[in-house]
Structure 1
Amino acid sequence: MKLSFILWLAQILPQPAADPLCLATTVYLEARNQSELGQRAVAEVALRRRDSGRWGESVCEVVTARKQFAPTLVNPGLRLKNLKAWERAVRIAFETQRDWQLPPGQRREVVPGASHFAALELANPAWATAPQVATIGDHTFFRVQRLSPPPAAPAAEQARLAP
């Protein structure tokens, strides 16, 4: 199965049906050789970015945002040959999405607050100086920026802070 076919299929599927396909593709491409925990962490970063809205409103928009995840960095003609790894990536994508539907305090987060990750043996991005959340397998996860808006100050405090 070619990456270009999967991405084409994700474009014609209605939302949110396409999101698990895009998430599984990203998990496969980024972490198929990693542990389940490492694969879940990659999925978590994509879902956290989707929730922030800064990279797109759907998982497919997030993982195909320019130069962010493997689906836009590898050759579209790439064949996904490892069927076992693909099946595992699909299962992990569905499980992580299901868990992510829970309220934030009830989720089983692997890399809390992580918005980025990198295989530091292969790349050294400028943002890799941000606080590290965890290293799982070949990937180091970072909290590069606060993804959710800061909570609004109570009205009394806003009045006190006003000039």
Structure 2
Amino acid sequence: MKLSTLLLIANWLPTPVADQTCLAATLYLEARDQPVLGQLAVAEVALRRLEQGKEGRTLCEVLTRPKQFALTLVSPNLEFKDASAWDRAFRVAQSAMTLWQVPTPYRVSFVPGASHFYAYHRAAPAWRHQREVATIGDHRFIDVD
């Protein structure tokens, strides 16, 4: 399935399912070759941005904000070809969304305070020098105020 088709379908799904689909697509594109912990950390960054309420009212809105996540950075014609990676990303997205529903004081945080991440061997964003929270797999997680 092409990314553009997946996002079109997500527009017609009820919000919780659409959000899980958008998050799974993001995990697939950003971190399918990373450990589960790395995928959970990427999901946490997206969920934190949603919770902060500055970038959208739904997770799909946050994840499709221009130039923030892979959903807007890769070709809409990109094909999701690895079925096992998609299945894993979809399950991790569901787990991350469930974990994020726990009240803040009791919530498990894998990258506390991180609002951004980048693949350190591929990118060098201007904000990379701000407070590093963690390095997991190929990604560095940063608290950008």
How many angstroms does 1:66 deviate by? Answer: 0.4
Percent identity at matched positions?
55
How many angstroms does 1:122 deviate by? Answer: 1.0
- 3-state SS, counterpart of residue 16 of structure 2: coil
Correspondence 1:8-27 to 2 at 5 A: 8-27=8-27
Give the TM-score of the pair, scaled to structure 2. Answer: 0.97
Counterpart for residue 6 of structure 1: 6
How many angstroms does 1:107 deviate by? Answer: 1.4
- 3-state SS, counterpart of residue 134 of structure 1: strand
| Pairwise CA RMSD | 0.8
How many angstroms does 1:16 deviate by? Answer: 2.8
Cα distance in 1, alignment partners of residues 144 and 110 from structure 2? 16
Cα distance in 2, alignment partners of residues 108 and 28 from structure 1? 22
Correspondence 1:36-47 to 2 at 5 A: 36-47=36-47
Cα distance in 2, alignment partners of residues 138 and 96 from structure 1? 19
Counterpart for residue 88 of structure 1: 88
Aligned residues: 145
How many angstroms does 1:121 deviate by? Answer: 1.4
How many angstroms does 1:75 deviate by? Answer: 0.4
- 3-state SS, counterpart of residue 141 of structure 1: strand
Give the TM-score of the pair, scaled to structure 1. Answer: 0.87
The amino acid across from 1:111 in the alignment is: V
Larger RCO of the pair (alpha carbons < 8 Å, separation 6+): 2
The amino acid across from 2:135 in the alignment is: T
Structure 2, unmatched stretches of 5+, are: none
- 3-state SS, counterpart of residue 75 of structure 2: coil
- 3-state SS, counterpart of residue 9 of structure 1: helix
The amino acid across from 1:35 in the alignment is: P
Structure 1, unmatched stretches of 5+, are: 146-163
Cα distance in 1, alignment partners of residues 130 and 55 from structure 2? 19
Structure showing greater radius of gyration is 1
How many angstroms does 1:14 deviate by? Answer: 2.6
- 3-state SS, counterpart of residue 38 of structure 1: helix
Counterpart for residue 137 of structure 1: 137
